[in-house]
Homo-oligomer: A and B are copies of this chain.
Amino acid sequence: MLIESFYADALAHISYLLIGTKNAAVIDPKRDVDDYIEEAKKQGVKITHILITHSHADFVSGHLDLAKKTGAKIYAPLKSNFQFEHSPLVESDVIEIDHIKLEVLETPGHTPDHVSYVVTDTSRGELPVAVFTGDTLFVGDVGRPDLFPDLKEELADNLYHSLFDKLLNLPDFVEIYPAHGAGTLCGKALAAKRTSTIGYERLYNRALQYKDKKEFIEKLLEGMPAAPDHFRRSSAINSKGPELVENLPTPKAMTPERFEKEIEKGAIVVDVRSYIAWAGGHIPNSYSLDHNCMPFSTFAGWILPADKNVLIVADTENDVKIATTKLRRVGIDYEIGFLEGGMQAWAKSGKPVNSFRLISPENLEKKIQIKEDIELLDVRSKGEWDTGYIEGSIHIPAPELRNNFDRVAKEKPVILVCGLGPRAAMAASILEQQGFDNLEILSGGMTAWNSYHNKESACSSSK
């Protein structure tokens, strides 16, 4: 028995290949499934089982793609009521893969349908060795129960019992394999362990310290961050069964002329180049989503309308491919075109180009010192804002700007601040669409600001 993990870094999602002597299972597959197939080939096993822990909200799942490509059978909770062919599972059901036994543990809380899979290696012993906990129990945290706002109290109650009466009943030595890693944005936040054990979490998992149910629920629901818009959408897609990726249209190369026509017909432009290049020159009203330096899938799912054709501006065709994969991970499935020859080709064609300047920490400091009349707009998350900000800033998290742009002073120069730069450009692209033109981006964000002032950056995460 061997467990290989697959980390989808634009989603902080972790899926697993559970390998027996001849067969293998994939737990909670992402939508780009070739990685599993290749690893199985390398290991000399056949993927025969696809296990789903619950109806995922934050990404579109690849179970149908994987089933189609491998012939594997799908196993999912009975309560999920999935509309595609699968074997429905209830408490205590057992799945056997070679010498591996997986037992179903119903663990509702994050969602009403959630199950965990308890793994026993019968070739070694009769007690379990590991558990796939999905979004019920993470390393250091537990799943949020508030994605169904009407049910959140009930789900929090369920979660308490799933954790304390079920998962924590497992022996201390049992390894935990959750469906998500901790922070997932550019930088150090990645340095958080992705597996743990029941005993360690029992002692040190923050949420598990509240052993009184009332207190547990209270603390859990306190200060929960906003849920991205696409969570509801992904759930519905997953429940129905997503379109197979092989049936989705492949990205089409387009000339600037064709691109312009598609924009006129209502397509949106997503510019995935670095935020610096976007600032240097971009198609007016394009979305800036620096695909190398942010949780691209999460933000794309969050801020892009999902019912429009998408036009990609990228540096290379390979970047187009990667961005397309990441868009599809959150269910952006419409036709995709890309600008052949990139932004240079667009510029050459004489079509409109917009640009903004970056401002360095040094120059921003000067403006502040001479009290220039500027609007300092911090677009980081509540959690980051709480670790400190530039005096005089106002705070609107980037995704919320779509509805709160009128809180920003249009008549003043607006200087946008985020953690590293990319989200400030994303915010600038949202404001540009609302008619703002006098925008500057703090180069390097608060990380640069703090470095310039010789402060240790509190946190470079950027959710």
Residues of chain A whose beta carbon lies under 8 Å from any beta carbon of chain B: 1-3, 19-22, 41, 43-45, 121, 124-125, 127, 129, 140, 171-175, 186-188, 190-200, 202-204, 273-281, 293, 315, 340, 342-344, 346-362, 420-421, 443-445, 447-453
Complex CA–CA separation, A355 to B358 (angstroms): 6
Query: Which residue in chain B gives the minimum CB-CB distance to A3?
Result: B193
How far in angstroms is the closest Cβ of chain B from A260? 12
Complex CA–CA separation, A359 to B356 (angstroms): 11
The 8 closest A-B pairs by CB, nearest first: A280-B280, A173-B199, A350-B452, A350-B451, A347-B444, A277-B277, A125-B204, A350-B448
Complex CA–CA separation, A443 to B121 (angstroms): 33
Complex CA–CA separation, A277 to B271 (angstroms): 13
Copies of this chain: 4
Find chain B residues with CB under 8 A from A175 CB.
175, 195-197
Complex CA–CA separation, A203 to B450 (angstroms): 51
Supplied contacts A173-B197, A276-B277, 7 more A-B pairs, CB within 8 Å? A21-B188, A44-B187, A175-B196, A279-B280, A353-B359, A353-B360, A355-B357
Find chain B residues with CB under 8 A from A448 CB.
347-351
Contact B361 A350 (CB under 8 A): yes
- Contact residue among B41, B202, B281, B346 (Cβ-Cβ distance under 8 Å from A280): B281
Known pairs A199-B171, A343-B274, A444-B348; A190 contacts B356 (CB<8 A)? no
Contact A449 B350 (CB under 8 A): yes
Query: Which residue in chain B gives the minimum CB-CB distance to A282?
Result: B276
Complex CA–CA separation, A351 to B172 (angstroms): 49
